[in-house]
Every structure is written in C-alpha cells, then in structure tokens.
Amino acid sequence: MQKQVSIDVEAEKKEILKRYRALLHACKRTLEKGDKLLIRKAFDIALEAHKDMRRKSGEPYIYHPIAVAHICAEEIGLGTTSVVCALLHDVVEDTDLTLDDIRGLFGEKEAKIIDGLTKISGVFDQSSSLQAENFRKMLLTLSEDVRVILIKLADRLHNMRTLESMKRDKQLKIASETLYLYAPLAHRLGLNAIKTELEDLGLKYTEPDVYEDIQIRLKEGEAERKRFITKFMVPIKEILDEVGLKAKIIGRPKSIFSINNKIKTKGVPFEEIYDLFAIRIIIDSPPENEKSDCWRVYSIVTDFYHPSPERLRDWISTPKANGYESLHTTVMGPDGKWVEVQIRTVRMDELAEKGYAAHWKYKDSANESQLDEWIRKIREILENPQDNALEFLDDFKLNLFAEEIFAFTPKGEMKTLPINATALDFAFDIHTKIGEKCIGAKVNHKLVPLSYKLKSGDQVEVLTSSKQTPKEDWLNYVVTARAKAKIKNALKEERRRVAEEGREMLERKFNHLKIDFTVPNINSLANYFKLPSSQELFYRVAVGNINIKHLKDFRQEQGTIVHKTGSIKKAEAAPSLEQMVANARGKSDMLVIGENLNKIDYKLSPCCSPIPGDDVFGFVTINEGIKIHRVNCPNAVQLLSNYAYRVVKAKWTSQELISFLAGIKITGIDEVGLVSNITKIISNELNVNMRSISFDTNDGTFDGSVTVFVHDTHHLTELMKKLKKVHGVLTVTRMDGN
C-alpha cells in the first residue's frame, strides 16, 4: 500500500505560478504582439489536462512541461511556437485531447510538431523495436521541422535532470537511450551545452561509481586549477588590452564524460590526463574582422607559450558540419603543463553553446545552408520506408558523432564527409547513380580502389562503368548512412528482380506437376525448405540453390501440396520473444545468476566477460538463450536503448566456489625480474590461477596481458591494486573481452 502524502495545494499553486512567471521572463526576448496570450492559452490547457497527474517524484505533472518550455526558451533560444508545443507536448499522449483539438485551438504547424513528439501507439511484431520506431517517427518530422528534435531534446534533458526518483532498471534504459541517440543528436545540431550535460547525466546513471570518482577528483583539484588559469591569463590579458581587443578569458573543466572517455580510449589513469580543462578566449569582434582577430589572439598566445604543432585545429576557415567555429591549439603553459586554448568570438561562442537556434538569430547563410544540407541527407535516408527501423537507426547514428574530413571534386568543390569515409562514400555523396556505377577513383591523380580511406584535402575523381552494379561486400567499404542505405536499396531491388524470375520458374514447374500455384501451397513449400518467406524461396529457385527438378517428389492431394513421404509438416512455432522474456523474468522479476539458476540457461557474454560483483543485466537473445552483460559493456548502451523490453534484471549469488576468467592489461618500464615479480604476486599472494600470460617489450617499455581465474570483482580489484605497486608498472586495467 502506498503511504498517504499530505499535499499542500495552496503552496503548489503558488509554485506553479512562480514557475510560469519564470518561463515568461525567459521568453521575453522573442515575444511579439499576441504571443503572451498564446503561451497563457497553452499553459491553461496543459494545467487542466494534467491536473490529476503526478510525476514519479510526487510533484505535480505540470512542473515537467513548464520546465521543458523553459529549457526551449532559455537554453536553446526558441520562440513562441516551440514554447506552446513544449507546454502541450504530452497532452495528446496522456490525456483526452486529440491532435484535431490542438489544430483547432492553435493551428496546423503546432499540431504537426506535437504529432512528431507523440509516441507511436499500437502493436509491432516481435522482431521490431518500439523504441526504434519511435525514434524513426521523430526523425521523420525532423526533415519537416527541426523544432521537433529541439523540443524532444529539452524534454529528455529535463527527464535526465529528474531521473533520481526512477527505479534502477528504468534509469538504465533512459540513460542508455540518451547516450545512444539524444546526446549525438544534440552534438549534430550544435547544442554543445546540452550535449555535454546529457552525456554527463547518462554516465551518472549507467556507471555511477566512475562518475562519482571523477567528480570527487575534479573537486579536489579545483583550487589548484584556478591558480593555474590565473597565472596563465594575466600576461595574455595585458597584451590583449594593449592592442585594443576586448576579450573575456575563462577556464572550463572538461566534462566528466569526456574525461572518462579519455581514460578508456587512451588506457591512462585520471592523474595522467593533462587536458582536464580548456582555456577559452572569447573576443568581441565585428563580423568583418572575426577571422583576422582570432588569428591575432593566436599569435599573442603562442608568443608567450610554445604551441604543439600537431594540435592546431582551424574550424574558422572550415567550420564543422554542425556549424561549430573556433580555433583550437594546445600550448605548453606555466609549470610545464600542456593546456588547450580555444579562441572564438562572442557570435561563435553563442553558436557553439546554443546551436542552430542561435543560427536563425544571426541568419548566417553559410551555416544555415549546412543545416539544410544535413536535413536533406536525412530526408533521403528516410525515403526508404520498408527499411528495418533498427538498421536505419544504426546507419543514421554512424554520422551523428563522426569527426569530419574535407575532400574536393576535380573542379574544386568541397565535400564534408565523416572520418574513415572511402572513395565509394564520396561517389555516393555526389549522386546515387555515380555511386552505383563506381569502379574506382583517382585520388590526387593516383588510381585507388573503392575501399580507399580518404584524408582531409584529398582531391577525388570518381571512375564509373555502365556495367557496374552494387555488390554485397560494398557495405563493408562505406561509413556514411546515405551510401549504406542506397547500397541496401539496390541489393534489395536486385534480389526482388531475381526472385520474380524464380517465381515464374516455380509457377511453370507447379503447372507441369499439376499443383495449384496458391499462397498456402507456396508457404508449405517454403516451410518444407525451412525458409523464412516465399520471396526467399523464389530467390533460391532462381539462383539454383533449390533445384526444381527435385520438385517431382511433390504432388497435390485435395488441393494441398504433399511430399511423396506424406504431407508436409507445418513448421513448429518457436516460442515468441514475449514468452521467452516472460519465462526469463519468472515470478521474481530478477534473474539470479549462480549455482542453482532455476533451470534457466544463460551464458556470460564474451564481449565484456562479466564476473560476480559486476553490475549486470540479462538480455534475451532469439537463438542463444539469455546472455549476461556488464552494464558498462561496449554493447550495453545500444541493447538497453533499442531493446529494453528484452532486458531482464540480474544479480549474483555468492560465488566463493566458482572461478571466472578475467583479463588484465599491464604496461610499464621493462626491468629485469619484472615479469617474475608480476607472476609471483598473481600465484603466491592471492591464490589466483593464471590461464595465460603474454608480454611484448619494445625499446625499454612493455605491454602485457594476463588472464586469471577470480571469484568476483572484489577479488580482481585487490589483485590489480597489488600489481600497480610493482616497481616499473605504470598502468593496470581490466580488459573488456577475452
């Protein structure tokens, strides 16, 4: 039974009014005549529609739409239409109001945006993912009105800020979705501040211990960082004032998420990350002098501090595809510390933090056209409605976070492509037909294959042949969503054409055998050959995989096809995914992993090799039973975000008697007796059995990997602590898979 909480209605009314006034204040700079009335109307409707609803935290539900509208106005800089839609974004989904009501009260535009924000209702077949379908629906409306995504990001940001009151499994699902799709979307739309907060909050709920650890360490070093920044700034500020450049200099710590990423990708401990913060110099400069003023500041900074030549990034001459403009350099600052310096103007800084909403304010045509170009590409990818929504999402996501390169056509036209893009990607970027007929390319006048990876500055001439058609292995050569979608389309079209030939061949054979060419008979034959569909049957007949001469063993009895050994058995239906999940969840809603596992078959997933003590979840696969993954497994974010309905909560029982394999990576300085000291600790000190050990030395340093049998994470952590103390050892990290 829920305990009764006494609610102070008057205090809540006051609070609602206070929040509404704060919202109006945030809208002040965009308000035009009549806008206030529209916002009031939307607020009154939302207040009435949600009046009996409360959030998980116990607060009145109306706090949420007001907060989302506030984020739209203040943090993204959107206008009245978006504020109205943000206030009403949940009413169609959660109350009796319909889209027609919204259309009548406000207009077509508002109804369209709210439709884009409303989740799909209805039943999907078990192989599809409702989450993926919802994402796709939302992205479909993106190509019509970018505000749908901006409001959705504001909605997600508020949900992440108030995730505390949710259950752990709900937190995991929502945080994983955020890291999988929403943070990359915010990045792509240039909403840097929101992207950073979404990533940090995502990490806070997926890996709370890691998040807390970095947060504490950042706090500990805060005073020292402030001293360093002051020391760095004083001489620079003096010179800037002397030459008459108005500038604001700030030091910003890097986000917890990006620090954690560095720890993971570079395999270095927190103490060894030198760029924990960046110094940003923001100059107030008129548009015509922006570029030259930024380079003047660069010159002043590098007169004082030595720059690292390979760390110069000029995103002023060629802005990123999301409109980001800035000049980055890394210099050797005071006390022998490397520090990243970002130089930009007030306009560039606002664009970097608020993204495309700020672009409209500046009406900067070059950057607007980049947004239009990106949305045009999305529209193309979305043109293909029969595509699997999950496949589409994976392809779409590929291009959200990728760093970019610039390549040129023979006439000098610049194309922006994601890093690792190939000659074939370039061909598809020019035109679908050129991509489909591409046989190779000349890069900087040298002949290269389709799979050649382009570098920034390459000039590419595409070579085509009228006889060329897309091949299956082309999918391995491309990284852009556009090229992938076009190749898949062409392959499907080709397969459909071949299947059509197979259908005609099969129909002739049926007529010859005096068997009716009916849908039930075709399906029975497909079942007999254990094929998923009639199209697959036709295709295999056409390519000779099924020899139609063998069909002479079939005949017809009472209108039904039979094999000479008797009638064709109907394929037994496998248990549905829903049944498998229900069986796995059982009565307790918790999978207990241990010696007596209620006869549920499970496997420890090799991609992350979980061991007792790890925070884990069970994932119901279609063919391999339940797989156990660590919550911080490389694949976890994707699984939790797209298939949350197939996830089962899991916990370990005590495992003192069972040992699990874990991998440890060790790096250090190659010293005499080092390997012997390491193996001694492993075998003598903690009675751990070693399965394999390998060491590579290179010019005085070594890289080693050891796989050991341990009982749980505590056991493994103790062992890693002892190994870190060995003289000569620099890093000891756990490997993800074995």
Q: Please report the DSSP string for 367-406 in residue order.
A: HHHHHHHHHHHHHHHHT-TTS-HHHHHHHHHHHHH--EEE
Q: Clarify whether residues 335 and 301 are in a common domain.
A: yes
Is residue 698 in some structural domain? yes
CATH number at residue 144: 1.10.3210.10
Q: Clarify whether residues 109 and 219 are in a common domain.
A: no
**What is the torsion angle, in degrees rounded to the nearest 10, for the CA atoms of residue 113, residue 117, residue 120 and residue 121?**
-100
pLDDT for 2: 45
Q: Clarify whether residues 327 and 252 are in a common domain.
A: yes
Q: Clarify whether residues 543 and 673 are in a common domain.
A: no
Q: How confident is the model at residue 198 (pLDDT cuts 50, 70, 90)?
A: very high
Is residue 695 in some structural domain? yes
Residue 199 has pLDDT above 60, yes or no: yes
Q: Clarify whether residues 272 and 169 are in a common domain.
A: no
Residue 91 and residue 65: Cα distance in Å, rounded?
Answer: 10
Q: Clarify whether residues 593 and 713 are in a common domain.
A: no
Residue 359 has pLDDT above 60, yes or no: no
**In this predicted model, what pLDDT tens digit does every residue of 307-332 receive, in sequence order?**
988 888 898 988 877 778 899 999 98
Pairing of strands 338-345, 277-283: parallel
Structure token pair of residue 421: 């893009």
Q: Tell me the chain's radius of gyration from C-alpha atoms.
A: 30
Structure token pair of residue 644: 């949350």
Nearest to 191 by CA among 301, 288, 75, 290: 75
Catalytic residue selected from 93, 212, 472, 507? 93
Q: How confident is the model at residue 202 (pLDDT cuts 50, 70, 90)?
A: very high
Is residue 620 in some structural domain? yes
Residue 418 and residue 480: Cα distance in Å, rounded?
Answer: 7
Is residue 691 in some structural domain? yes
Q: Please report the DSSP string for 649-669 in residue order.
A: EEEE---TT--EEEEEEEEEE
Q: What percent of the chain has pLDDT over 90?
A: 19
**What is the torsion angle, in degrees rounded to the nearest 10, for the CA atoms of residue 69, residue 73, residue 74 and residue 75?**
80
| Number of domain units in the chain | 5
Q: Clarify whether residues 247 and 289 are in a common domain.
A: yes
Q: Clarify whether residues 151 and 27 are in a common domain.
A: yes
Is residue 547 in some structural domain? yes
Look up the pTM and report it: 0.70
pLDDT for 588: 44
Which of 13-27, 344-358, 642-656 has the least mean pLDDT?
642-656
Looking at mean pLDDT, say which of 503-507, 531-535, 562-566 comes out highest. 503-507
- The predicted model gives 332-342 an average pLDDT of 86
Catalytic residue selected from 44, 94, 284, 595? 94
Q: Is 94 a catalytic site residue? A: yes
Q: Clarify whether residues 127 and 225 are in a common domain.
A: no
Structure token pair of residue 168: 């752990």
Q: Give the end of a domain, one of 652, 675, 707.
A: 652
Residue 407 and residue 647: Cα distance in Å, rounded?
Answer: 43
DSSP 101: H
DSSP 148: H
Q: Clarify whether residues 344 and 230 are in a common domain.
A: yes
Q: Give the end of a domain, one of 549, 567, 585.
A: 567
Q: How confident is the model at residue 363 (pLDDT cuts 50, 70, 90)?
A: very low
pLDDT for 124: 42
- The predicted model gives 67-96 an average pLDDT of 88
Is residue 365 in some structural domain? no
Is residue 333 in some structural domain? yes
Residue 303 and residue 528: Cα distance in Å, rounded?
Answer: 79
- The predicted model gives 512-533 an average pLDDT of 80
* 252: Cβ contacts below 8 Å, ≥ 6 apart: 277, 278, 279, 280
Q: Is 458 a catalytic site residue? A: no
Q: How confident is the model at residue 120 (pLDDT cuts 50, 70, 90)?
A: low
Question: Could you list the residue range(s) of the whole structural domain that residue 519 is in?
Answer: 489-567
pLDDT for 309: 83
**In this predicted model, what pLDDT tens digit does every residue of 639-677 receive, in sequence order?**
887 777 777 777 776 554 456 778 888 888 877 778 788
pLDDT for 654: 54
Looking at mean pLDDT, say which of 223-237, 353-367, 672-686 comes out highest. 223-237
Is residue 692 in some structural domain? yes
Q: How confident is the model at residue 528 (pLDDT cuts 50, 70, 90)?
A: confident
Task: Tell me which of 609 and 370 has the higher pLDDT.
Answer: 609
Average pLDDT across the chain, whole number: 80
Which of 21-25, 415-419, 515-519, 659-663 has the least mean pLDDT?
659-663
Q: How confident is the model at residue 593 (pLDDT cuts 50, 70, 90)?
A: low
**In this predicted model, what pLDDT tens digit does every residue of 38-67 receive, in sequence order?**
999 999 999 998 888 888 888 889 999 999
Q: Clarify whether residues 600 and 625 are in a common domain.
A: yes
pLDDT for 415: 84
Q: Clarify whether residues 594 and 499 are in a common domain.
A: no
Question: Which residues share a beta bridge with 628?
Answer: 604, 618
Residue whose structure tokens are 């979608």 = 485
Q: Give the end of a domain, one of 304, 322, 354.
A: 354
Burial of 144 (0-12, 13-18, 19+ CB in 10 A): middle
CATH number at residue 221: 3.30.460.10
pLDDT for 620: 81
CATH number at residue 681: 3.30.70.260
Residue 634 has pLDDT above 50, yes or no: yes
